[in-house]
Structure 1
Amino acid sequence: MIDWDDAFDNSGHVPGSADLPDIWAREAAAFRASARPELDVAYGPGPRNRLDLFRPEGTSRGLVVFVHGGYWHKFDKSFWSHLARGPLAHGWAVAVPSYTLAPEARIARITREIGQAIAHAASLVEGPIRLTGHSAGGHLVARMVCDDSPLPPLVLSRLARVVPISGVHDLRPLLQTKMNDQLHLDETEARTESPALHARKGATPVTLWVGAAERPEFLRQTRLIAEAWAGAGIRDIYEPGKNHFSVVEGLTDPASPLVAELLE
């Protein structure tokens, strides 16, 4: 019998992970101080319906939106500002939204909020749109290109690429975890909010990115959606040596393979 709590326990299998939130917060604050973003831009009525917008020097080439993880019940945008560094260096504006966390919000509501955040950011920046997100954020950006996408048609038409990083694409196993005390998933929502159980909407290229040294469940989740969505424009990449936390650091490096894939 599978121990699903252990299967999704990234922190318990990555040495030093307890120190990472403090490190992320410091690096993000330092980057905000140097980048002078537009902070706390409201995209909805909730107190966490806010995004930070980082603009490049000169005219932007388009918009990148990064959606953070934390299993839908942890963190906010302030931990992740430094992940804008890579795309920003290539002339792309970067939006980093917060969203209402579980248990205050169910995952279906969080999906709608991210749709609102992307639509509002799109109204502020012209040009093509590229989406990326990590872990739960990977799930949320994948939901944007499902057959029931919450994005308006005009925003969908501007999508140039989606790169879910270490996403959770089949939520049904979470029903068997202690985490569900926070998420309050039931069988219906677990199915309707699982990207791997939906058809892909349109032909937006999707690259499913995961660290090759991650927990086996995250490798399985990536293979699952890659197979479910197999076809033109779908790729799955397993980055050598990267764990669940180090894999997203590629967004800080303008020369990283992850940034190259996102902006291809």
Structure 2
Amino acid sequence: MIVETRIENWDDAYANGAHIEGAADYPPRWQRLAAAFRADHGARAETDIAYGSAPRQRFDLFRPVGAARGLVVFIHGGYWRAFDKSLWSHLAAGPLARDWAVAMPSYTLAPDAKIAEIAVEIAAAIAAAAGKVEGPVRLTGHSAGGHLAARMICADQPLPAAVSARIARVVSIAGVHDLRPLIRTAINDDLRLDAEEAAAASPALRTPAPGARLLTWVGGNERPEFRRQSALLANIWAGLGAATAAHEMPGKHHFDVIDDLADPESDLVAELLA
């Protein structure tokens, strides 16, 4: 039997909080955990490092106790419209415990910036952080941050060549990789994407950089569109020469799928640093 799939309500397809019990409790919880983590790390936490002149062009850098083996950059989500670096500091715990430095940038949000402009900001943040930490670079990001992380290993990415050459692996967590469906949602009131811009900003419609290594990671209980978007990029890029894998984490939804970044023994941290 052939079962057709068709999306009738595009806003609902990309709505996460409406389908997660206790969704409103997550942002304050993230804020508390992140603030406590920064307080605990004291001198090993360098906060509000400028990578540009705009107010939100700042990143935090957390260093391990000993010499860093390399740099992890975590890019936050929020549909390119919400949040900042201050909510996610605690997610640095996993890589830090395994001797990796972790940078977490903020960026100008839509509608004050278009997605293509945000990608340029993220490239500048990665370059600035890489200038402070030697060794290989791993990128990861959640939701919109997953999109931005994947955008950094497209063939036409905006990074300096020397920094691009150091990126050994990208893990896109519940990322949105084809932006064209968002044109049909209310989210686009802020994103202001047209068809041409959406296609140009979509990693799934770009060519991966030579040697690109990508893992997409998504919760098994996430909205079907996020699961489809994760599988989509890994599938397409595998056919374009990238080394890819796709993983669904059983029992996880869009808001708790990132929790394992705080656990140095988790499969997610192991895969990120592999």
Structure 1 length normalisation: TM-score? Answer: 0.99
- Tell me the residue number matched to 2:3: none
Distance apart, 1:232 and its partner CA: 5.1
- Tell me the residue number matched to 2:137: 129
Could you tell me which of 217, 237, 255 is aligned with 1:245? 255
Distance 2:203 2:9 in 1: 23
**5+ residue gaps, structure 2:** 1-6
Give 3-state SS (helix, strand or coil) of 2:59's partner: strand
For the pair 1:60 / 2:78, whether they are aligned, the reply is: no
- Tell me the residue number matched to 1:49: 57
Paired residues of 2:213 and 2:243 also in contact (CA < 8 A): yes
Deviation string 1:93-123 (CA, Å, 9 cap, x unpaired) is: 0000000000000100000000000000000
Distance apart, 1:45 and its partner CA: 1.1
Aligned residues: 264
Could you tell me which of 141, 144, 149 is aligned with 1:141? 149
Distance apart, 1:5 and its partner CA: 0.3
Q: Which amino acid aligns with 1:211?
A: G
Q: How does 1:86-235 map to 2 (within 5 A)?
A: 86-230=94-238, 231=241, 233-235=243-245
Give 3-state SS (helix, strand or coil) of 1:260's partner: helix
Distance apart, 1:143 and its partner CA: 0.2
Distance apart, 1:67 and its partner CA: 0.1
Identity of aligned residues (%): 61
Distance apart, 1:212 and its partner CA: 1.1
Distance apart, 1:2 and its partner CA: 2.1
Could you tell me which of 26, 31, 35 is aligned with 2:37? 31
Distance 1:5 1:99 in 2: 24
Give 3-state SS (helix, strand or coil) of 1:162's partner: strand
Distance 1:145 1:175 in 2: 24
- Tell me the residue number matched to 2:77: 69
Q: Which amino acid aligns with 1:166?
A: A
Q: Which runs of 4+ in 1 moved over 4 A?
A: none
- Tell me the residue number matched to 1:257: 267
Could you tell me which of 12, 15, 19 is aligned with 1:13? 19
Please identify, of 223-232 and 125-134, the stretch whose mean Cα deviation from structure 2 is larger.
223-232
